[in-house]
C-alpha cells in the first residue's frame, strides 16, 4: 500500500482576530505569529512529490490574520494545480479588497464560521462586530463574483449550551437566502481544553489520514492538538512524506 496523506493542513499563522470560547486559541501557550515564507514554500514543494488530494492552509489561527495569505493561496494554486484547496475563516478580515484579490483563485471550498446572527451575542461570543462580517459576506456572495472566488461556500454555526432555536432558525434562513450550505456542529473538547458534552465516538478517528503542520514547522497529532504536545518531528528537518510515514504516525494509524 502506498502511504500518502489525504490532506495536508498548514498553519500559515497561529494568530486569530477572534476569541471564541469553543476554540482553544484563547488558552494556547505557544506564540502567535506567521509561518516564514521559505518554510511555507518548502512544504508546498514537498507536496509536489506525490498526488496530494487536498490542502488546507489553516489550523488554529485565522488565515486572513496572515498578511501573506493571498500570496500563499496563489502559490498553492500554481504549484499544486490538481490539489483541492480548502480554506476556513471567520470572515471578519475577508474584506471586499481581499475578495477582489481572490477572484480567479476558485477555492474548492470556503468555510466561514458565523455562529449567530444576533449582533450582541456575536460580539459576546467572538469578540468581533457582526456588521462588518455581514458586509464582507454580502460582497463575497454576490453572484457577480462568488464563483470566481470559491466553487463552494459553507457557513458554519457552533451550537453552544445557550444557543436558541430562534438563533438556529435565523442562521438557516440566512444560508438559504445566500444559497450557501449550512453546517451546524456541537462543541469539540480539544483534549479537555474546551468543555463539551459530546460523547467519545465509537469509531476510529479520520484525522489519522492527514498531516497537520504548525506555524513553526512542527507536526502535531491533529487539529485537536493545538500545542503540538503529541507530534513528531518538523518539516524543517524532514519532508512532508517522511513525516506522514514516520513510525509514530503509523502507530496512530495502526491503532485505528
CATH number at residue 45: 3.20.20.70
Question: Does residue 25 lie within any of the structural domains?
Answer: yes
28-60 per-position pLDDT tens digit: 666 777 899 999 999 999 999 999 999 999 988
Q: What is the DSSP string of 54-109?
A: EEES-SSS-GGGSTTHHHHHHHHHHH-TTSEEEEEE-STT--HHHHHHHTTT-BSE
Question: Does residue 2 lie within any of the structural domains?
Answer: no
Question: Does residue 1 lie within any of the structural domains?
Answer: no
Counted domains in the chain: 1
Question: Does residue 138 lie within any of the structural domains?
Answer: yes
The domain in which residue 154 lies consists of 7-196+207-255
Indicate the pLDDT class of residue 231, thresholds 50, 70 and 90: confident
Question: Does residue 127 lie within any of the structural domains?
Answer: yes
Q: How much is the pLDDT for 155?
A: 96
Strand partners, 183: 156
pTM score of the predicted model: 0.85
Question: Does residue 238 lie within any of the structural domains?
Answer: yes
Q: How much is the pLDDT for 206?
A: 63
Question: Does residue 201 lie within any of the structural domains?
Answer: no
131-168 per-position pLDDT tens digit: 999 999 999 999 999 999 999 999 998 888 888 999 99
Sheet containing 7-10, strands listed edge to edge, beginning at the edge strand earlier in sequence: 181-185, 153-158, 109-113, 84-89, 54-56, 7-10, 210-213, 219-220
Question: Does residue 157 lie within any of the structural domains?
Answer: yes
Amino acid at each position: 500500500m502506498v502511504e500518502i496523506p489525504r490532506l495536508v493542513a498548514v498553519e500559515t499563522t497561529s494568530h486569530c482576530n477572534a476569541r471564541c470560547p469553543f476554540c482553544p486559541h484563547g488558552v494556547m501557550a505557544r506564540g502567535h505569529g506567521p509561518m516564514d515564507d521559505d518554510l511555507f514554500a518548502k512544504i508546498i514543494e514537498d507536496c509536489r512529490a506525490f498526488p496530494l488530494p487536498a490542502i488546507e492552509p489553516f489550523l488554529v489561527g485565522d488565515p486572513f490574520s496572515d498578511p501573506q495569505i493571498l500570496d500563499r493561496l496563489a502559490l498553492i494554486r500554481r504549484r499544486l494545480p490538481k490539489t483541492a484547496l480548502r480554506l476556513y475563516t471567520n470572515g471578519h478580515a475577508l474584506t471586499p479588497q481581499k475578495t477582489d484579490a481572490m477572484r480567479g483563485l476558485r477555492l474548492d471550498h470556503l468555510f466561514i464560521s458565523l455562529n449567530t446572527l444576533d449582533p450582541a451575542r456575536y460580539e459576546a461570543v467572538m469578540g468581533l462586530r457582526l456588521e462588518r462580517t455581514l458586509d464582507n459576506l454580502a460582497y463575497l456572495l454576490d453572484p457577480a463574483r462568488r464563483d470566481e472566488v470559491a466553487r463552494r461556500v459553507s457557513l458554519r454555526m457552533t451550537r453552544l449550551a445557550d444557543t436558541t432555536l430562534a438563533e438556529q432558525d435565523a442562521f438557516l434562513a440566512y444560508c438559504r437566502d445566500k444559497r450557501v450550505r449550512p453546517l451546524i456542529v456541537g462543541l469539540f473538547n480539544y483534549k479537555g481544553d474546551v468543555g463539551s458534552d459530546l460523547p467519545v465516538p465509537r469509531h476510529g478517528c479520520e484525522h489519522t489520514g492527514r498531516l497537520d503542520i504548525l506555524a513553526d514547522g512542527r507536526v502535531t497529532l491533529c487539529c485537536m492538538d493545538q500545542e503540538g504536545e503529541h507530534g513528531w518531528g518538523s518539516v524543517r528537518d524532514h519532508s512532508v512524506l517522511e513525516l506522514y510515514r514516520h513510525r509514530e504516525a503509523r502507530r496512530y494509524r495502526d491503532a485505528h
